[in-house]
Chain A
């Protein structure tokens, strides 16, 4: 499947279209991976004597209100943010895809229940939804992942359902039934492979949504807490100092976040246009 995708990409010389997104994302991901090996300052060690220092050769991105090095924190935050984003989206696929597949394949009450669940989740504003959950079951990073995963899952449920439903009565599924394969085998061996390319193309887009939500919640104090380095909470830490002209504690993590979201959106748009082109 992946091999086919790569073949199609290179065959049509569409690779360059992904370049802007990749140029931004790939270095950031590499940096996030090697951060612990770099000679950086401790990202969570406060220096009360060095609070709110402007960018200088010593602290490239300056220091924040606790005297922690912003450069080191931005890089370390990339690690956490990428990891959490990945977990959120994987969780969303793990919840949404099977649910959508079952709903589309079996139909009937199962489909009705799934659709109503999807509508309920999507009708809540994410912030309200997150607050409710966090207050109900307690604040933790695990709960944050679950909240965002559950919030994104409906996208996948709808997507997979829309792929599986029209395939349900198609000849090759009928042929699979003739050979005595059970519903579960048909779902796993025949319908899931058909859903993978759209899931992949949706993946980057929902990663952008996830990281935005993640840092948004952390900004509001509902996600990752200071001093753990995370872009959203770092923006929050520096936000109050902006009016005093101390822009660096917020702007650098904000810029990093902006680049990642832009890169992910860019790539997802290109994937999407690739699929629409094929349909034409």
Chain B
């Protein structure tokens, strides 16, 4: 049973004269209680896919087509007032730069309490008590004192815990973690990932983990989606995809992590295409090793190739 399904989502952003085609037919599904990892290069549309779910997009964005359905509700068609209920109540997102995600002149306790008060209508004192509770649950030493700290007085890992605490008090059904471990100590990374997993488990929430680090996804997720240039090229069960990546791009990406067939670490030649001038056909053509004629004509759509495994590639039988 899927909590969230995104089907054929297109997103364009208009900047001055240029139109950037950010997403070009994203198909994604997140299972109830599932954890989906989205991997891909910078600029592949991972973050904007997530922001699309919350409809928090930059000015000049529009969806030419596509549907984002959260538990039967089409988020693309929702008006602003209803969207505010979705944000925080249904979907919550944790961003990469934890300290930048916190207001520098408001104490962290108040910031957590605000959300709790907003969510439950609790009084100021109750909300502050709740803030202490959740920070303690986050394993922040001296939570009672820490709630009076300003974000600049905390370390990056502590700020990240504060953000996770905020996600915990908003009690979402879908939690999105966008590059949350980037810039953290390796030892802290695992702790933060474990914390996010346990929070999601406590809430019974589904999880989306966006990362360009496959190790993080392997740690946290049961499913994986590989994105490239605004498209999902492969999606499926984590073990299945890692054991047998079918899309040439997934294979190349795994090789880059030293997880593929080649014992040596490799790189993908070339760069991702300019999103302003997108040609017909598969976006990976210029960098792909196994192009057939059809690849240049037709955009491949994601199609099932096995139980819990789909690929968008013309070369895969």
Q: Which residues of A contact B (CB under 8 A)?
A: 1, 4, 169-172, 174-182, 185, 189-190, 193-194, 196
Contacts and interface: CB of A to CB of B under 8 A. Distances in A.
Interface of B: 54, 56, 58, 84-89, 91-93, 95, 97, 100-106, 114-115, 118, 150, 163, 166, 170
Contacts of A169: 58
Most chain B CB within 10 A, of A1, A4, A177, A182, is at: A177
B95 A171 contact: yes
A193 B103 contact: yes
A171 B101 contact: yes
B118 A171 contact: no
A199 to B, nearest CB: 12
A180 B114 contact: no
B106 A189 contact: yes
Given A177-B56, A179-B115, A180-B118, A1 B104 contact: no
Contact of B95 (A175, A181, A182, A193): A175
B95 A179 contact: no
B56 A178 contact: yes
A180 B103 CA distance: 16
Contact of A178 (B93, B105, B106, B150): B93
Closest 8 CB pairs of A and B: A180-B88, A171-B100, A180-B87, A175-B101, A179-B88, A178-B93, A193-B105, A171-B101
B84 A172 contact: no
Contacts of A193: 103, 105-106
Contacts of A176: 103
Contacts of A171: 95, 97, 100-101
Nearest to B176: A178
Contacts of A180: 84-89, 118, 170
A172 B89 contact: no
A189 B114 contact: yes
B26 to A, nearest CB: 20
Most chain A CB within 10 A, of B89, B95, B105, B118, is at: B105
A178 B54 contact: yes
Given A174-B56, A193-B105, 10 more contacts: A169-B58, A171-B95, A175-B101, A175-B166, A178-B54, A179-B87, A180-B85, A180-B89, A180-B170, A185-B118
Contacts of A181: 84, 88, 114-115, 118
Q: Is the interface of A mostly helix, strand, loop or mixed?
A: helix
A190 B106 contact: yes
24 contacts: A169-B58, A170-B100, A171-B97, A172-B103, A172-B104, A174-B95, A175-B93, A175-B102, A175-B163, A175-B166, A177-B54, A178-B87, A178-B91, A179-B170, A180-B84, A180-B86, A180-B87, A181-B88, A182-B84, A185-B114, A189-B103, A193-B106, A194-B103, A194-B105
Contacts of A170: 100
B92 A179 contact: yes
A178 B104 contact: no
A194 B150 CA distance: 13
A172 B88 CA distance: 14
A178 B92 contact: yes
Contacts of B114: 181, 185, 189
Contacts of A194: 103-105
Contacts of B115: 179, 181
Nearest to B96: A171
Contacts of B88: 178-181
A242 B192 CA distance: 78
A192 to B, nearest CB: 10
Contacts of B170: 179-180
Nearest to B97: A171
A179 to B, nearest CB: 4
Most chain B CB within 10 A, of A170, A175, A181, A190, is at: A175
Most chain B CB within 10 A, of A1, A176, A181, is at: A176
Contacts of A182: 84
A166 to B, nearest CB: 13
A194 B95 CA distance: 21
Contacts of A175: 93, 95, 101-102, 163, 166
Nearest to B90: A180
B105 A172 contact: no
A177 B170 CA distance: 12
B210 to A, nearest CB: 14
A159 to B, nearest CB: 16
Contacts of B85: 180
Contacts of B97: 171
A196 B103 CA distance: 14
B103 A190 contact: yes
A172 B111 CA distance: 11
A181 B83 CA distance: 11
Contacts of B104: 172, 194
